[in-house]
Structure 1
Amino acid sequence: MSSNKRAKIENLIDESYQIESMLSTWQEDGVVSPERLRSGQECYQSWYMRAIPFISEVSREKFTDMYEGGMFIQRIKSFLFKPLEINQFHDPSQIDSPFSKWTHPYSTTFLDNFHTQRSLLQAEIYSVTEAAPILAELAEIFARFPSFLQVLQNSKKPNVPAPRIAKEEDLQVLVGACLRLMYDDVRPEDYVPEHGGGRSRVDFLLPAVGIVVETKMTRETLTDRKVGDELMIDWGRYARHPDCRGIFALVYDPDRKLINPAGLQADLTQNQNNPATRVLVVR
């Protein structure tokens, strides 16, 4: 990963929030001086031209379409150059008029499309981030998970209750708390885009690094082969998440149901895949 490239993308993302704030008041005020209009146009267009080189070819057409639009779909360009054009179908005498006052409303013509552009730019950070080192770091940290539990369970202080992991949901609570020691943004049960009429959820998403974290807890009916099969099925769904560049699976095996945990880890840890995957078994 080029740290210089990542820094430039992050600066563009930070700058996008400033542009969003600058343009958000145009239709609220109902008046935009020529100087403010020109300044806003120049700021956005400068940002746009500097962002395009960082957008991969597969995403560039979508990125430019969010600006250009077309004859029937008006996008950012229309808002920038005609932000105060009155919608001829708007009836101000109707409180619940189905038509906006503006021909090119800020929220739908600019903001929605700008958010898409920003998400495409954010995705480029994930594409230049090597997932394998992050997965290795998570594995190193969670390898100490049994020691962490032991300290809490051996505590004699009445106001420090020992955690009880009776089911997978209990495990998720503790894993989520640990992740928040490392990352500011930890999103539990983030949805994967619909596929085949169904929706699935990842246990945790770390959007800053593009990592999905999954938890499994063994039981009588969930041993070596079944754990591996379930992980592979889950990963096929998780890979469709737009922010997923790597998957870390923590398998908690307190009763030692797994016969060959080392083999499970080795077989399902793939650093060169997209997304990269890493399995850690703890007992």
Structure 2
Amino acid sequence: MPKAPQKRVRIEKLIEESEHIEDRLSRWQLDSPPDIQEIRAAQRLYLTWYAAALREIPEGDMRTRFIDMYEGGAVIKRLRAFLSEPLATSPLYDPENPNPVFPRWTYPFEDRREELATQREILNVVMHGETTVVTVLDELTAVFRRLPEFLAVLGAAGNDRVRRPTLTNEADLQVLVHAILQLLYDDVRPEDAVPKQAGAASRVDFLLRETGVIIETKMTRPSLTDKKVGEELAIDWNRYQRHPDCQAIIGIVYDPERHISNAAALEHDLSNNDSDPATRVLVIR
């Protein structure tokens, strides 16, 4: 199984670290209060975590809410106030006559649990919302990168049990890609229709309905090199993104005779995990 994307790994680690930080902070307002060294160490730990988490959250409402869980405001105090004065006691608290309306602590930690939980929830949304289709693209990339090795085994000397597929044109390539996709996914839809635009009909090569990923295949030839492949993919993708299920597009370019002069540049220029839909180009030789 391909490795999870690095962003997902980082966020999973941040969520786990947040739980440890919460456990540590929860002990401060118990019977044995922490000393100043413990408070300062935990403050640094949280702020380091907070800065790392912010780097994973894109601009927008979720980022604003994440920051508010720490910053608070003039009236509503949140984690920042607690970390600054975790042992500050309320002037209205009477230890001789405890009253739940006037708790002992100015910034009770129990109120902070919800703020930490909200920050973890936001990280979870970012992790799943941004990496689901990217994970699929990574998995498909890992599988189809191995296509030359797969074909080499089938064509190995002495192998008279299974024939190597004949790939002489794009139709042959599509049959092979379809077969591999069926090994990986239950719902593979070939030639799925795209809504018409200006009366023109279009079909994607394959749609993975359960993930929202469209697969397009290209097989190079002397007249289909870097520039032409890039232009055709850009035109097709402009149409494909109108498909109601499209969340990501991957172009599988089979180039056994090396008509692509700069495969790395083609992949880099047309691959974007952050676009809508996400895109990926894979040149296979």
TM range (shorter): 0.5 to 0.7
Pairing of 1:131-280 with structure 2 (within 5 A): 131-154=133-156, 156-280=158-282
Give how far 1:272 is off. 0.7
> Given that residues 190 and 202 in structure 1 are in contact (C-alpha distance below 8 angstroms), is that contact kept between their aligned partners in structure 2?
yes
Q: Within 1, Cα distance between the matches of 2:160 and 2:130?
A: 48
Q: Within 2, Cα distance between the matches of 1:223 and 1:270?
A: 21
1:139-172 C-alpha deviation (Å, 9 max, x unpaired): 1111001111111122634442221100000000
1:66-120 C-alpha deviation (Å, 9 max, x unpaired): xxxxxxxxxxxxxxxxxxxxxxxxxxxxxxxxxxxxxxxxxxxxxxxxxxxxxxx
Pairing of 1:64-83 with structure 2 (within 5 A): none
| 1:274 counterpart SS class | coil
1:40-81 C-alpha deviation (Å, 9 max, x unpaired): xxxxxxxxxxxxxxxxxxxxxxxxxxxxxxxxxxxxxxxxxx
Identity of counterpart residues, as a percentage?
54
Match of 2:283 in 1: 281
TM-score by length of 1: 0.54
AA partner of residue 210 (structure 1):
G
Match of 1:26 in 2: none
AA partner of residue 154 (structure 2):
L
AA partner of residue 248 (structure 1):
I
**Comparing 130-139 with 175-184, which one deviates more in the overlay?**
130-139
TM-score by length of 2: 0.53
Q: CA RMSD in A?
A: 1.6
The alignment of Structure 1 onto Structure 2 pairs a total of residues equal to 158
Larger radius of gyration: 2
Name the CA shift for 1:266/1:129 in 2 (closer, same or farther; >3 Å): closer
Match of 1:123 in 2: none
Q: Within 2, Cα distance between the matches of 1:127 and 1:198?
A: 32
| 2:204 counterpart SS class | strand
Match of 1:130 in 2: 132
Q: Within 1, Cα distance between the matches of 2:248 and 2:157?
A: 35
> Given that residues 143 and 282 in structure 1 are in contact (C-alpha distance below 8 angstroms), is that contact kept between their aligned partners in structure 2?
yes
1:256-282 C-alpha deviation (Å, 9 max, x unpaired): 011100000000001111110001101
Unpaired runs of 5+ residues, structure 2, are 1-127
Q: Within 2, Cα distance between the matches of 1:196 and 1:158?
A: 52
Pairing of 1:30-45 with structure 2 (within 5 A): none
> Given that residues 155 and 162 in structure 1 are in contact (C-alpha distance below 8 angstroms), is that contact kept between their aligned partners in structure 2?
no
Name the CA shift for 1:244/1:155 in 2 (closer, same or farther; >3 Å): farther
Q: Within 1, Cα distance between the matches of 2:147 and 2:254?
A: 9
1:174-202 C-alpha deviation (Å, 9 max, x unpaired): 00000011101100111101111111110
Unpaired runs of 5+ residues, structure 1, are 1-125
> Given that residues 129 and 209 in structure 1 are in contact (C-alpha distance below 8 angstroms), is that contact kept between their aligned partners in structure 2?
no
Name the CA shift for 1:129/1:270 in 2 (closer, same or farther; >3 Å): closer
> Given that residues 216 and 252 in structure 1 are in contact (C-alpha distance below 8 angstroms), is that contact kept between their aligned partners in structure 2?
yes
1:218-277 C-alpha deviation (Å, 9 max, x unpaired): 001000000000000000000000010000111000000111000000000011111100
Name the CA shift for 1:155/1:275 in 2 (closer, same or farther; >3 Å): farther
Q: Within 1, Cα distance between the matches of 2:149 and 2:159?
A: 18
> Given that residues 220 and 257 in structure 1 are in contact (C-alpha distance below 8 angstroms), is that contact kept between their aligned partners in structure 2?
yes
